Structure 1
Amino acid sequence: MNDSKKSIEDIWKEGFFKEGNLYAPKVNELYHRKSKHSVEQILQGFKKEVQLLIPLAIILFLFNIVLDNDNSVFWGIVCALPCLLWFYLGQRQLKSLKQIDYGASCYDYLLSVQHQLDKIHHFNKRLSVSSVPIILFPMLIYTYFKNPNKTMGELFGIESWDWSSLTIFGLLPLMTLIAFGVAEVSFKKAKKSRNIKIDELIKDLEELKS
């Protein structure tokens, strides 16, 4: 079995059963390789997610054009702009991860990467939730003033909804609350799957140091 594919536990066992098989430099080198490989995988996955935002922006813009509603170009731009903003921020976040200095200790390097990933995670979660009311509010204002005398039922094609069109603004807190719940679940899952290898390596290193 290739050393790079062996678990740390396997190497320790071989070290105990075969005298002279385990050396500190060898273990350090293994951790160096594993650390760099794990971080590189995270960076590649992050890069793909960021790059997907450009085609998503184009799709949202074209979707509004195809609908051919009033001011479709304007609303296409409104829908596409958040994706372009997230792309810009994602590029900066990716750069911040790449700029982390490896230094002499893979343990310190992994802690720095973990800390930066946590910062990115919390920022992106807040951004995704706050983006909902920011994008939705102008759409609701436009819909309300475009249809001032219509009921909610007439706006949405449901006859039993005879409430005033003002009620449409109730969608703002409702959709924000839904976005918060979705973000809480999805970001927690993404963080766990993205950081699991780094967390395991840090735990192994802490056990070896103790």
Structure 2
Amino acid sequence: MEKSIENIWKEGFLKSDALVAPKVNNLYNQKSIHIIDKFKRMFKINLIAIVAFSFVFLVVSFFVGLPITGIIFFVTLSVLVIINKRLLIDLDKIDMGVSSYQYLKAFNQWIIKQVDINKKISRFLYPIIFISMLLGFWFKDAEGVPLGERLVSEIIFGFPDTYLIFGVPVIGIVIALVIIGLLALFGARIYKWDLNIVYGRVFKKLKELMTDIENLRS
């Protein structure tokens, strides 16, 4: 009985001594390498963009009178880049000499680890960025007086019964804490949304390729 094309592909993929095995294996190896190389390029470009943006933001923050925001922002993003740079080193350690399926599985496991770490970081990253903006505007010079103090003075002038804690209206503290709490709560979701925008197509191709290989192996 003649073998179907699907069976020939299966045998070519599973049996190293089959006639079509080298072609099939080479095809999937090339696809695997292409997807991972594309991800590496995008990942490196993304890290460079973060470094460049944080540096430019730091310089601009001094010109617009928000140095506290710029410094905290720069340090926070620098830590983020350092952590992901170390993760990228682990990715480069994946053995390209193994089969395309094992190569993709190793890459997929790295992706899961990288996403999990960055989701945890995001629960702190977004609240820190928000706090840096609050501090920056609070201490921004407003004709010799910090902007925050000037705003509090105007609030007290209009609403004398306003209750203060450490010189800050309670309602302002409550609103800030609510926003910080929401950013911490939804930080991981915000990160996943951002991740899908940047790498969504690459992850989709990875999933499709792994599904194809698993179907051939079954």
Classify the TM-score, shorter chain.
0.7 to 0.9
Q: Work out whether 1:58 is the aligned partner of 2:55.
A: yes
Q: Work out whether 1:39 is the aligned partner of 2:25.
A: no
Q: Which runs of 5+ in 1 are unaligned?
A: 1-11, 17-21
Correspondent of 2:177 among 149, 155, 172: 172
Q: Work out whether 1:206 is the aligned partner of 2:203.
A: no
Q: Determine if contact 1:54/1:87 at 8 Å carries over to the other structure.
A: yes
Equivalent residues in 2 for 1:96-135 (5 A)?
96-135=90-129
Q: Determine if contact 2:73/2:129 at 8 Å carries over to the other structure.
A: yes
Who is 1:4 aligned against?
Answer: none
- The one-character-per-residue Cα deviations of 1:57-86 (angstroms, maximum 9, x if unpaired) are 1122122111125xx3x4432221112112
RMSD of aligned residue pairs (Cα, Å): 3.2
Q: Determine if contact 1:132/1:176 at 8 Å carries over to the other structure.
A: no
User: Greater relative contact order: 1 or 2 (C-alpha under 8 angstroms, separation 6 or more)?
Assistant: 2
User: What amino acid sits opposite 2:77 in the alignment?
Assistant: C
Q: TM-score, normalising length from structure 1?
A: 0.72
Aligned residues: 184
Q: Determine if contact 1:53/1:83 at 8 Å carries over to the other structure.
A: yes
Equivalent residues in 2 for 1:1-210 (5 A)?
12=5, 23-69=20-66, 72=67, 74-137=68-131, 140=134, 143=138, 147=148, 150-151=151-152, 154=155, 165-169=169-173, 170-178=175-183, 180=187, 181-190=189-198, 192-210=200-218
Structure 1: distance between partners of 2:177 and 2:202? 31
For the residue of structure 2 that corresponds to 1:102, the secondary structure is coil
Q: Determine if contact 1:50/1:87 at 8 Å carries over to the other structure.
A: yes
Structure 2: distance between partners of 1:153 and 1:192? 48
For the residue of structure 2 that corresponds to 1:77, the secondary structure is helix
Q: Determine if contact 2:69/2:135 at 8 Å carries over to the other structure.
A: no
Structure 2: distance between partners of 1:153 and 1:209? 72
Shift of 1:163: 8.0
Q: Determine if contact 1:57/1:79 at 8 Å carries over to the other structure.
A: yes
Q: TM-score, normalising length from structure 2?
A: 0.70
Q: Which runs of 5+ in 2 are unaligned?
A: 10-18, 140-145
Q: Between the two proteins, what is the percent identity of the paired residues?
A: 23
